[in-house]
Amino acid sequence: MIPMETLPGSARWRGALETVLGLPGPLWLYGAAGTGVSTVGAWMAAQRSVPGRAAGFLDDADRLEPAALDDWIAAHPRGVLATHLGPGDPAMAEAASRCLAFRLPSLDEEPDSVWPCLEAMAAEEGLQAPLPDVLAGLPCPGNLRGLRNRLVRWKLLGQLPDPPAPGGNALPLESEDLAANLHVLERLLLHRALRRSYGNRVEAAGRLGVSRRQLYLLIARHGDPVRGELPSSTGPKRLSRRKGPGA
């Protein structure tokens, strides 16, 4: 487990914890998935407990129905709720309005935290420096979990994430033809999903929001850069019917 002082942006928000812990009422701790809300929430609940009475800790608070959530808050006046939904979310607004909100930042917001987190994870996995620079590349889907996933896959399989493409997020569009541009975008998203999932096709299908059958059709059309598979189909009919610019 990563030490709390190594979590993204901890140097900035840890100084406020003592004040927050001493305030009355329940705490609503939130942040993106993989930012450490469960770790920090459990620690905060332990700090707020008094002899003979635990403050109470509710992880994944957003999974409770509104009525059950209200009952839990009423029963734990010094409790800590951890969730990935902020107080502005319509489903959580009423319950969160009864709590003091505290947000944890993501790795994308705190890039200086990436290497300390990576080094702490490497020590847990028994890996020694130097680590490949590409492991610390941003964005990092999944935050701390995504970062650990990169590290473990490199340790076990020697797989590294795909480095950011030159030009950032600019699409390599060569014409104004809509069909051709949609084909380019489809290929870009497919290849990025396959690389970010290290070739795991079930995971890639989930990232793209398509079925496995649809994923295999896309791979047939665009290939798989992770497994080195070339396209095996000519693409959609709308491309073969093109007669040139303006057609």
pLDDT-based confidence at residue 203 (cuts at 50, 70, 90): confident
Q: What is the pLDDT of residues 227-240, one digit of tens each?
A: 778 888 766 655 55
Instruction: Mark whether 14 and 97 lie in a shared domain.
Output: yes
**Are 39 and 99 in a shared domain?**
yes
For the chain, what's the residue count? 247
Position 168 pLDDT exceeds 60: no
Statement to judge: residues 91 and 12 lie in one domain:
yes
Q: Sorting pLDDT into bands at 50, 70 and 90, what band is 246?
A: very low
Choosing from 65, 83, 103, the residue where a domain stops is: 103
For the entire predicted model, the pTM comes to 0.68
At 150, list the tokens.
């990169």
Distance of CA 61 to the CA centre of its chain: 18
* pLDDT tens by residue, 9-62: 998 898 888 889 999 999 999 999 889 999 999 999 999 998 888 999 999 999
Half-sphere exposure of 35 (CA within 13 A, CB side): 25
pLDDT at 141: 78
23 and 71 share one domain: yes
Shared-domain flag, residues 119 and 210: no
Backbone angles phi, psi at 103, to 5 degrees: -110, 140
Give mean pLDDT, residues 125-129: 90
CATH number at residue 187: 1.10.10
Q: 80 or 228: whose pLDDT is higher? A: 80
Is 135 found in the same domain as 98? no
CA dihedral 114, 40, 150, 222 (to 10 degrees): -100
Which CATH number characterizes residue 65's domain?
3.40.50.300
Measured distance CA(217)–CA(211) in Å, rounded: 10
Is residue 12 domain-shared with residue 95, that is, in the same domain?
Answer: yes
Domain extent, residue 131, equals 111-157
d(CA 42, CA 179): 51
- The residue whose two tokens read 């059950």 is 68
Number of neighbouring beta carbons within 10 Å of residue 131: 17
The count of domains in the chain is: 3
3-state secondary structure of 101: strand
- Pair 142, 211 in one domain: no
